[in-house]
Amino acid sequence: MSEKVYIPLYTITDKIVNLVSAITEIITKLMINDDMTNIPRLLEDNRIRTIHASLAIENNSLSLDEVIDIINGKKILGTPAEICEVKNAFEAYNRLLEMNPYSVKDMLLAHKVLMNELTKEAGTFRSGGAGVFVGKQLVHMAPPANQVPHLIKELVDWAKKAEVHPLIKSCVFHYEFEFIHPFAEGNSRMGRMWQTLLLYKWKSLFGWLPIETLIRERQDEYNKVLDECDQSADSGKFVEFLLKAIYEVLCEIADTEQVMEQVTEQVERLLKVIGDKEFSTKELMELLELKHRPTFRDNYLLPAMDIGYIEMTIPDKPNSSKQKYKMVKDIEQ
């Protein structure tokens, strides 16, 4: 008798088909127009925002600025556990893209890095039962611990062999991973990370795409859709939810790209004159030989600040008479 092949249950709707088509179209345009890896500041910012959003979903109270300070080695006021979460997540995401999404060994290693010093079972599958609670209500009872290694192997094997579009496959994997709940702690973080890795192996821009920021803004809907899929034993709605989040964040990036293309020449001129010094608005206008303040503000200064290349010297007092502007230093690795 042949062994039964594991196939996750999900319904591909017209909405899913349309979203896959729209996402693929945007990705094609982005990759034709520009190589996003040529903008290190933008990539680093998105990576850090992804880490911050992922931890915020798990109730980490640190702000984005505090997360940046921790990554840069600065001391902040925060609980040891929250600080450890940031350091671990940064290290895990730095190593993630070199991992094999179809390797259970790599998955365990990623969990070990992500949950180091946060749980005694870091890097190992859970040894006991697990349930997902909303408040005091149990909304999902995970499979028994002794089934976890087998279920994860089946899921990974399916992801490796299934002839399913990578966008759909990554979403189904995410759902099935959360259903199995293979670890004592850190399952949601790992599920989102592993979806990023699966997508990255398809298209490299997903290595830094901040999908998690969209999930954070819709956290209640995220949990609700997971519950609905559990009840129906079909992850189709979860696939729709995540594809919509991916589509929306890609639209934001496409809009940013369009703005950058329109202002590149002016921003480049501004960057050349500012160098490593600090200048006031008046001084910069003189250096650029501009007399119309709104033109300088709208076509030079604000676009450069939006992209993340120029910053205020007194950000807490934007209208200060002593305000000057300087080049943003890259975040230290």
Please tell me whether 147 is known to bind a ligand: no
Please tell me whether 140 is known to bind a ligand: yes
Structural domain count, the chain? 2
- Do 307 and 163 belong to one domain? no
| Residue 287 placed within a domain | yes
Please tell me whether 139 is known to bind a ligand: yes
Please tell me whether 174 is known to bind a ligand: no
For residue 322, the tally of other CB atoms under 10 A from its CB is 8
For residue 203, the tally of other CB atoms under 10 A from its CB is 17
Catalytic residue among 111, 174, 181, 292: 181
Q: Which among 142, 92, 145, 146 is positioned nearest to 115, based on CA atoms?
A: 92
- Do 227 and 279 belong to one domain? no
- Do 175 and 88 belong to one domain? yes
Please tell me whether 17 is known to bind a ligand: no
We report the CATH number of the domain holding residue 84 as 1.10.3290.10
Please tell me whether 73 is known to bind a ligand: no
- Do 206 and 293 belong to one domain? no
| Residue 78 placed within a domain | yes
Tens digits of pLDDT across the chain (333 residues): 445 678 899 999 999 999 999 999 999 887 766 555 455 555 677 778 888 888 888 889 999 889 999 998 899 988 999 999 999 999 998 899 899 999 999 999 999 999 999 999 999 999 988 776 666 766 667 899 999 999 999 999 999 999 999 999 999 999 999 999 999 999 989 999 999 999 999 998 887 776 777 788 788 898 889 889 999 999 999 999 999 989 988 887 777 666 555 556 888 889 989 988 999 999 999 999 988 888 888 888 988 888 788 999 998 888 888 999 999 875 333
181 belongs to the catalytic site: yes
pTM of the model: 0.76
